Chain A
Amino acid sequence: MVEVREAVWRRRSGWWTQNGHYLLFMLREVGGSLSAVYGIILLGLLITFDMGQASYEDYLAFLQTPAMLAIQAVILAFVLVHAFTWFYLIGKSQAVMSAYRAPEWTRVFGLMIVIFVAASVGVLFVVFGGL
């Protein structure tokens, strides 16, 4: 039996720069990791709080330095990308709930955004003690 020598396909490096969808996908995946990083930053708040008022306030001041603000802004951007692509995902997958007539994914996506905005406003309200 003659085995035919095939041309083996190999992926090029930088494949994810090839189109917008691939790029968005990679950003989302990175966003997931950065969410975890932010969790560690928040963990720092708990730890320094436990260590005493001075440590806590030093930490807060550190978080407000220009470099840290910039980093937190970047993390926020990635987290938003991550969250919105997950809202898209929920829209695409919920068709199973009612097997015959799935609500349009755009409706679900819109609903998620509304809930997101409402929840964000609610949290900010609580944090800043009123508007």
Chain B
Amino acid sequence: MDRLAFDIVVVGGGAAGLRAAIAAAESDPKLTIGLVSKVYPMRSHTVSAEGGTAAVMRDYDNFELHALDTIKGSDYFADQDAVEFFVSKCPDEIVQLDHWGCPWSRDDDGKIQQRAFGGMSVKRTCFAADKVGFHILHTLFQESMRHPQIVRLDEWFVTDLIQENGAAAGVVALDIRRGELSYINSKAVVLATGGCGRVYEFTTNGFIKTGDGMALAYRAGAPLKDMEMVQFHPTCLPGTGILITEAARGEGGTLINKDGERFMKKYLPSKMELGPRDILSRSEMIEIREGRGFKGPHGDYMGLDLRHLGEQAIDERLPMVRELAEKYLGLDPIHEPIPVRPGQHYIMGGVSTNLVGETPVKGLYAVGETACVSMNGANRLGSNSLSECLVFGKSAGMAVAAFAKRTGWPRGGAARDALAKQEARIFGGLLKREAGSESLSGIRREMQQIMERDVGIFRDEKGLTDACAKLATLRQRFANVSVADKDRVFNTDLTQALELDFMLDVAQAIAWSALNRRESRGAHSRTDYANRDDANYLKHSLAYRTDGAPRIDYLPVKITKWQPAERKY
């Protein structure tokens, strides 16, 4: 049990967390920053992002247009002040990453190249072949190593936030390697743990995306905003759920049904395959439901056709797409269309924050997919997410540094109490409990199936009510789960149990928020309330944790320049 203390603790080592840590370090060389991650940072799920990072870089583009595209894409649900702030900061982040060594793909004149992307009216997506997330993550991680004030605690799992008089005062974390719990005192905590895709059965997300930071904030009294807004990506490989980047469509790829027709002309003729993701995913599901999908061993699917792009273009701009198709499906996209179907990919919702990452809990910040500013509203445009991590990572990093400078150290009593509580819960409870009646993987699977079936692309009152009831039951049944692996050292059975505990909270927030939004907007699509209802619902959902069902409250959407209109493309 170590006595650890840092001015700032950042939980999560992906793009947002690393960017915040670097920004804090740069703003004051005397600050100590603890970067606590349950995996080594280069394993963070940022690494799998493929397509690109949006920013206004050229003369044919301007901030107004990027903002309008984003707000329209969000189905007029994004907070417009956040979007205006966001678009104005993106170009600097692209340049900053270039200065730190990110291998952006280049035009013949040596400038950073940009490509077309869904919902963007001009080519404003900067990219690094089709591995932008990998390159950005490695660039940030390697740059972070240049700052000795950023101290990394790799493979430490945060189990609880410490609060002193309600304000964040540090974290309690499990050193996975040694199997020891410690408290880490700090003046501020930044949550950057990514999304929660693993509450769903079919997701592009890696195993580690279990909504840890969202649940931590939720339990500390911060509200989770817009949790019902879950994005389903139109092109995932059936079976594995592996993501095929939107850039494949940006480069000219088309979607076809089993009759070989480009079915998007029926749903969105003006944009076709480059429409917003929610519209595309719904269109695919309708095609499948009406029997026009290809049949396969993992269910019905659509075809992503890249054959007309040619081998050279594919190898130059979409090499990983080709590798993935060859490896996991045994087919070559230059000869055959790639089987794809919609899958959970991102969550627009998250811990409610303002422009600089502050949550309503003093000293608690959130950035990246964990947070909801809201910049993405009811549907996120592709390539805005990495930009979001960078822009808000920086603004939160600077804000939390300023906060830490003017704030005193917590007293320490709260930390000791929090540690004792966690030791009792985890070592005294979860770990000690004899073989329970419930299986960890069984409960997890049930949760994922409920979410997939009832809180998926199409929702209705009955399904959502059912889901809420079943999730509440699962929450109770979780109390009977025991951890079979009794060895404290590197106990992934234990960490999976802790993750499931977090996921059950987050799943409930999603289901309840969805049930209470009786309209369709962006990615939230209700078959019983098919239209957008601005009169009653132009407001963000806020889910607060209680001992029973989540309490749902609302927050008006911030409108500045763009009056909500019909989302027509």
Direct contact of A and B (CB under 8 A): yes
How distant is B163 from chain A, measured CB to nearest CB, in Å? 27
Query: B177 near A: Cβ within 8 Å?
Result: yes
Report the nearest A residue to B2, measured CB to CB: A1
How distant is A124 from chain B, measured CB to nearest CB, in Å? 46
Query: B489 near A: Cβ within 8 Å?
Result: yes
CB interface residues, B 277-332, toward A, < 8 Å: none
Query: A126 near B: Cβ within 8 Å?
Result: no
Cα–Cα, bound, A131→B490 (Å): 73
Interface footprint category on A? under 10
Interface footprint category on B? under 10
Query: A96 near B: Cβ within 8 Å?
Result: no
Q: CB-defined interface of B154-185 with A at 8 Å, one 1/0 digit per residue?
A: 00000000000000000000000111100000
How distant is B173 from chain A, measured CB to nearest CB, in Å? 15
Query: A4 near B: Cβ within 8 Å?
Result: yes
Please, which residues of chain B bring their CB within 8 A of the CB of A54?
none
Please, which residues of chain A bring their CB within 8 A of the CB of B178?
1-4
Cα–Cα, bound, A2→B490 (Å): 13
Please, which residues of chain A bring their CB within 8 A of the CB of B489?
4
Report the nearest B residue to A5, measured CB to CB: B489
Cα–Cα, bound, A2→B176 (Å): 12
Cα–Cα, bound, A24→B489 (Å): 41
CB interface residues, A 1-58, toward B, < 8 Å: 1-4
Please, which residues of chain B bring their CB within 8 A of the CB of A3?
178
CB interface residues, A 44-83, toward B, < 8 Å: none
How distant is A7 from chain B, measured CB to nearest CB, in Å? 12
Q: CB-defined interface of B77-115 with A at 8 Å, one 1/0 digit per residue?
A: 000000000000000000000000000000000000000
Please, which residues of chain B bring their CB within 8 A of the CB of A2?
178-180
How distant is A64 from chain B, measured CB to nearest CB, in Å? 58
B2 touches A4 (CB 8 A): no
Report the nearest A residue to B180, measured CB to CB: A2
Cα–Cα, bound, A52→B157 (Å): 82
Cα–Cα, bound, A4→B178 (Å): 6
Cα–Cα, bound, A3→B180 (Å): 11
Report the nearest A residue to B490, measured CB to CB: A4
Q: CB-defined interface of B1-41 with A at 8 Å, one 1/0 digit per residue?
A: 01000000000000000000000000000000000000000
Cα–Cα, bound, A1→B2 (Å): 7
Report the nearest B residue to A1, measured CB to CB: B2
Cα–Cα, bound, A1→B179 (Å): 11
How distant is B2 from chain A, measured CB to nearest CB, in Å? 7
Closest 5 CB pairs of A and B: A2-B178, A4-B489, A4-B178, A2-B180, A4-B177
Binding site for B on A (CB under 8 A): 1-4
Binding site for A on B (CB under 8 A): 2, 177-180, 489-490
- Other than the given A2-B179, A4-B179, 10 more pairs (CB < 8 A) read A1-B2, A1-B178, A1-B180, A2-B178, A2-B180, A3-B178, A4-B177, A4-B178, A4-B489, A4-B490
